[in-house]
Amino acid sequence: TGVGHHFGAHPALEGISLAVRRGERVAVLGPSGAGKSTLLGVLGGWITPDRGDVQVLGSNPGQLTGAALRAHRVQVGTISQALDLVDQVRVAHNVKAGHLGSWSLGRSLVALTRTRPDADCAAALERVGLGWAAQTRTGQLSGGERQRVAIARLLVQRPHLVLADEPTASLDPSHASDILNLLAGSRDDVTVIVSLHQPELARVHCDRIIGLRHGRLVLDAPAASVTSADFDELYLRA
Angle between helices 143-157 and 119-127 (to 10 degrees): 130
Using the predicted structure, report yes or no on whether residue 187 has a pLDDT greater than 70: no
Give backbone dihedrals phi and psi of 192, rounded to 5 degrees, phi first: -120, 125
* Residue with more model confidence, 217 or 172: 217
Mean pLDDT (the chain) is 87
- Element (DSSP H or E) covering residue 216: strand 216-222
Q: Kindly list the domain boundaries of the chain, sorted by start residue.
A: 1-86+160-238, 88-157
The predicted structure's pLDDT at residue 207: 93
Confidence tier at 71 by pLDDT (50, 70, 90): confident
For the entire predicted model, the pTM comes to 0.88
- In sequence order, which residues have a C-beta less than 8 Å from that of residue 11 and are 6 or more positions away? 4, 5, 214, 215
**What is the per-residue pLDDT across 73-114, written as a single tens digit (0 to 9) for each?**
889 999 888 888 999 999 999 998 887 755 444 555 555 556
The predicted structure's pLDDT at residue 117: 64
**What is the per-residue pLDDT across 103-143, written as a single tens digit (0 to 9) for each?**
444 555 555 556 566 888 999 999 888 999 999 999 999 98
Residue 175's Cβ-side half-sphere holds a number of Cα atoms within 13 Å equal to 14
Using the predicted structure, report yes or no on whether residue 13 has a pLDDT greater than 70: yes
Using the predicted structure, report yes or no on whether residue 232 has a pLDDT greater than 70: yes
**16 vs 13: CA distance, rounded Å:** 7
The CA–CA distances, whole Å, from 217 to 134, 147, 181, 197 equal: 42, 29, 26, 16
How many CB atoms are located within 10 Å of the residue 160 CB? Answer: 17
Confidence tier at 65 by pLDDT (50, 70, 90): confident
How many CB atoms are located within 10 Å of the residue 74 CB? Answer: 16
The predicted structure's pLDDT at residue 26: 96
Give backbone dihedrals phi and psi of 52, rounded to 5 degrees, phi first: 100, 175
Give backbone dihedrals phi and psi of 112, rounded to 5 degrees, phi first: -80, -10
**72 vs 123: CA distance, rounded Å:** 25
**What is the per-residue pLDDT across 14-50, written as a single tens digit (0 to 9) for each?**
999 999 999 999 999 999 999 999 999 999 988 999 9
Average of per-residue pLDDT across 58-77: 88
Superfamily of domain 1-86+160-238: P-loop containing nucleotide triphosphate hydrolases (3.40.50.300)
DSSP labels, 78-142: EE-TTTT--TTSBHHHHHHGGGTTTS-HHHHHHHHH--S--HHHHHHHHHTT-GGGTTSBGGGS-
* Residue with more model confidence, 137 or 188: 137
